[in-house]
């Protein structure tokens, strides 16, 4: 393979090309393209291996060797494996849209992965990986290969890979809260500080705290309802809401429809007179009590 790649650098530009070198480089590329067409191996796997090797040589010798996207290689789909922590959720209609997009427009984004003992574990592109494997029309067109880029060597630790996945996903997808909470808890177990988690995942301190609390309380065996440490509305707030539903019934009905627990003031009026409301006050007949 090295001999084939070396041929690219053995070609010499012809005399009379542009002084800035642009013409000579174009000529070298054209001559090499002619040579490659004449010497391309016959088998698919051999051809893909040669193309990947050539791209690696160009990547390592080029000015963008530090950018993963500069080296996209085609990898057998069987050698690409999903990670076990991706919290991004895509509904079936969006999955079908992704399939249609790839069929109509081609693969415009490679799968971001990390090479772990010869297996490419997905860091970003979980659903592109699925479509490339599970959709027969896509699989046939790309001949059971997938476009892959390798993350930087300094991001290969599991905690770093998780952070890479979250940063990619948060800009465009929807995370499941429970899965995100488990990830935050795992990073804390790996001795990541709240500050580092917030910086790496693009979260403010309150979000980190809330997500850590969700999984922390779940580990203690509590249900979602048992995790509540305070009622949604205190006594003063419920009294204010109850008064509000008397003077702004139409607005109040919209609040009740949209905010869970907002009707607590009205529903607790009779049982909590004094602390919550004044039982002597009643709604007009055309006012909305809320249910």
All structural domains of the chain with their residue ranges = 2-65, 72-154, 234-291
**Would the pTM of this model clear 0.95, i.e. be above it?**
no
pLDDT tens-digit series, residues 134-190: 999 999 999 999 999 999 888 778 887 788 777 776 655 555 666 778 888 888 888
The helix (run of H) or strand (run of E) holding residue 162 is helix 158-170
**Each residue's pLDDT tens digit, 82-91:** 988 776 667 7
**Distance from C-alpha of 216 to C-alpha of 188, rounded to nearest angstrom:** 11
Q: What is the mean pLDDT of residues 236-251?
A: 74
Answer yes or no: is pLDDT of 197 > 80.
yes
Which one, of 172, 178, 169, 177, lies nearest residue 201 by Cα?
A: 169
Going by the DSSP 8-state scheme, the letter that residue 140 receives in this structure is H
Mark 17-42 as b/e (b = at least 16 C-beta within 10 Å).
Answer: eeeeeeebeebbeebbeeebeeeeee
How many other C-beta atoms can be found within 10 angstroms of the C-beta atom of residue 145? 20
CATH topology of domain 72-154: 3.90.1530
215 compared with 35, residue with greater pLDDT: 35
Residues with Cβ within 8 Å of 166's Cβ and at least 6 positions away in sequence, in order, are 87, 175, 180, 183, 200, 201, 202
Q: What is the model's pLDDT at position 264? A: 52
């Amino acid at each position: 393979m090295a001999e084939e790649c070396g041929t690219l650098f053995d070609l010499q530009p012809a005399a009379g090309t542009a002084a800035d070198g642009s013409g000579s480089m174009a000529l070298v590329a054209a001559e090499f393209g002619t040579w490659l067409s004449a010497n391309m191996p016959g088998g698919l796997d051999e051809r893909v291996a040669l193309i990947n090797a050539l791209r690696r040589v160009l990547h390592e010798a080029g000015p963008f060797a530090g950018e993963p996207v500069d080296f996209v290689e085609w990898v057998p789909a069987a050698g690409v494996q999903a990670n076990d922590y991706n919290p991004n959720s895509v509904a079936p209609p969006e999955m079908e849209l992704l399939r249609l997009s790839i069929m109509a427009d081609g693969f415009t984004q490679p799968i971001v992965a990390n090479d772990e003992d010869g297996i490419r574990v997905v860091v970003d592109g979980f659903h592109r990986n699925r479509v490339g494997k599970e959709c027969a029309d896509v699989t046939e067109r790309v001949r059971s290969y997938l476009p892959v880029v390798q993350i930087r060597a300094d991001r290969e630790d599991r905690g770093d890979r998780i952070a890479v996945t979250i940063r990619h996903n948060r800009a465009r997808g929807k995370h499941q809260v429970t899965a995100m909470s488990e990830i935050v808890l795992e990073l804390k177990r790996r001795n990541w500080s709240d500050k580092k988690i917030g910086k790496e995942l693009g979260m403010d301190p309150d979000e980190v705290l809330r997500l850590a609390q969700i999984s922390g309380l779940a580990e203690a065996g509590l249900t979602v309802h048992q995790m509540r440490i305070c009622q949604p509305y205190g006594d003063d707030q419920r009294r204010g809401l109850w008064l509000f539903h008397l003077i702004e019934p139409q607005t109040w009905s919209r609040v009740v429809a949209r905010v869970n627990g907002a009707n607590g003031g009205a529903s607790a009026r009779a049982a909590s007179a004094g602390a919550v409301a004044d039982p002597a006050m009643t709604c007009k007949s055309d006012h909305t009590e809320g249910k």
